[in-house]
Amino acid sequence: MRDKRYDWLYERQKQPIKQYLLERFAGDLADELAAWPPADLEWESEASRRRWQPGAECHPGELVIRYALELARLDLRREWDEIDRRMRGEADGWWRSPEEKSAGMLLVKLLTERCLWLKEEASGARLTRDDLCGALELVEHRLFKVTLG
């Protein structure tokens, strides 16, 4: 008689390593954002600590995180003119208080640095900037799941 305990392994679909890596990264990053502030947050200088500390102390809301994810995607695509245009025209609507603005800017920096770190560390996976933008979209989906009941 055949042992059926491991049949589920044979029925699993193969998943490309790149996709698995991006999904795992997105899950870890979503967990890190949900438990804000990050445990490994370090300041480059005393001046940067004074500037960004208010953002690290307040837990960012959904609008702050969504806008930061959008700006981080633009940053990864190197669309700096679009970032400037949005920061001048839209940022105050998304980030209403100085604390939210500080948290949003800190989030953009953190998200971009984490993505570029992954690209560098996983060089064998040949991740592109578009792949990293897709990972940020996965982060957004994990954080803000819509369920229909």
For residues 35-48, give the mean pLDDT.
Answer: 84
Contact present, 22 and 131 (Cβ < 8 Å): yes
Report residue 79 as tokens: 């669309």
Q: What is the tally of helices (H) and strands (E) in the chain?
A: 8, 0
| Residue-level pLDDT at 55 | 86
- Enumerate the domain spans of the chain: 16-143
Mean pLDDT of 91-108: 91
pLDDT of residue 66: 94
Assess whether pLDDT exceeds 90 at residue 9. Answer: no
